[in-house]
Amino acid sequence: MTFNSLSVIGLGYVGLPTAAVFASRGLDVMGIDSNAAVVEMINRGEVHIVEPDLDKLVRDTVADGKLRAATEPEAADAFIIAVPTPFTDDHKPDLSYLMAAAESLVTVLKKGDLIVIESTVPVGTTQSISERLSKLCPGLSFPHQTDDADIHIAHSPERVLPGRVLAELIENDRVIGGVSAQCGERASALYGLAVKGQCLLTTAPTAELVKLSENAFRDVNIAFANELSVICEKLGIDPWEAVELANHHPRVNILQPGPGVGGHCIAVDPWFIVESAPDDTDLIRVARKVNDAKPGHLAEQIIHAANDMDAPVIACLGLAYKADIDDLRQSPAMDVVRLLAKAKAGQILCVEPHIETLPAELEGATLLSLDDALDKADIVVLLVDHKDFKLVARDRLSEKQVFDARGIWR
């Protein structure tokens, strides 16, 4: 049985591009989001996030009538759930958005439907969604009950890199873990309509752990680079030069030190593994600790320098969690600015070309253009390696105290 219609629940950084790509392949796609303003924007053919080429794809697929958005789900042949799975204050997975999204389908589910969970989840979640839905839909059979179930459920974790989402959605291989083998086959048939990469079939728990492991692997490796940078600082060595030279070794590939690790994935997902195996995750926990300590370490140095000046003006360049995107979630740059503000280190000017207003929590700071901030600053803190910042003429930095947390002005 082929797929004519698809519903994507959650129209964020993953869901909206996914919906638009499937719509561009000819499926009738309905995007569902609880935020009515987002739904209205998409129905006008506009986007609410910064991601290369997404604006055109959404405009075109909405104009063709292939992509629509709504706040409540409708019947479809397949459902992809791509809602956030954050953690709580004590690092426990918060699955409330995911469970609400899954439960919102009970009124529209019918025999033959496929549900794919793309949100990153702790091991065991996909099976528990099958169990939960079976309680809510007693007239339908689910894949944890029988291989030949009415409803197919699989986990296929999103693995796209913000900034390269459209290319990676199509080109990356996909790991697909079905609750039963049939569910995996069915999900593979869906992704085969849009994805050029391989569809790699496995079980749901394996797919869940694979996704978590990928991000924990990156976190541990960035922690190594960050720890090395603190060691270098003590020894008076340039960490980026040391990394670059070490990486000439054929079997060494150290990542880049920075102000810390942010975003909604790498700084979050390792905790989902810790939650599943609390006594066996020393390395993963320490890596989180090393990366989380980095903004505080940098802020301390800036505060120390500011304390030696009279009414210093501090320009903080970049607030996003990484280069050339607008996403401020879990951003180490935001942490640094918050710490400077809390310590009343000086007058804080923020430069972030991808936003128009500062978040409320930074209300004491001022959002300025790069030029104006550089004119006024005594201290310049480079927090994000946005393209514009790489072009800053070095003479604009002379006679200022510079903290280059990304090593782009060396």
Residues that bind ligand SAJ (CB under 6 A): 120, 158-162, 214-215, 218, 222, 255-256, 258, 261-263, 265-266, 321-322
Choose between 61 and 85: whose C-beta lies nearer to ligand SAJ.
85
Backbone angles phi, psi at 233, to 5 degrees: -60, -45
17 is written with which tokens?
A: 């591009």
Least spacing, CB of residue 265 vs ligand SAJ, in Å: 3
Handedness of CA 182, 185, 189, 191 (dihedral sign): positive
Choose between 152 and 322: whose C-beta lies nearer to ligand SAJ.
322
Choose between 134 and 215: whose C-beta lies nearer to ligand SAJ.
215
48 is written with which tokens?
A: 């609410």
CA distance 120 to 124: 12
Choose between 180 and 330: whose C-beta lies nearer to ligand SAJ.
330
Least spacing, CB of residue 217 vs ligand SAJ, in Å: 7
CA distance 203 to 183: 10
Catalytic residue (one of 66, 199, 211, 294): 211
Map tokens 């740059």 to a residue. Answer: 333
Catalytic-residue membership of 350: no
Choose between 77 and 335: whose C-beta lies nearer to ligand SAJ.
335
Least spacing, CB of residue 22 vs ligand SAJ, in Å: 18
- The residue type found at 189 is A
Catalytic-residue membership of 66: no
Contacts of 24 (CB under 8 A, 6+ apart): 57, 60, 61, 66
Do 314 and 347 touch, CB atoms closer than 8 A?
A: yes
Least spacing, CB of residue 218 vs ligand SAJ, in Å: 4
Helix (H, G, I), strand (E, B) or coil at 203: strand
CA distance 247 to 255: 9
Whole-number Cα distances in Å, 315 to 251, 305, 341, 385, 401? 39, 13, 12, 14, 10
Catalytic residue (one of 199, 265, 316, 350): 265
Least spacing, CB of residue 129 vs ligand SAJ, in Å: 19
Could you give the residue numbers annotated as active site?
211, 265
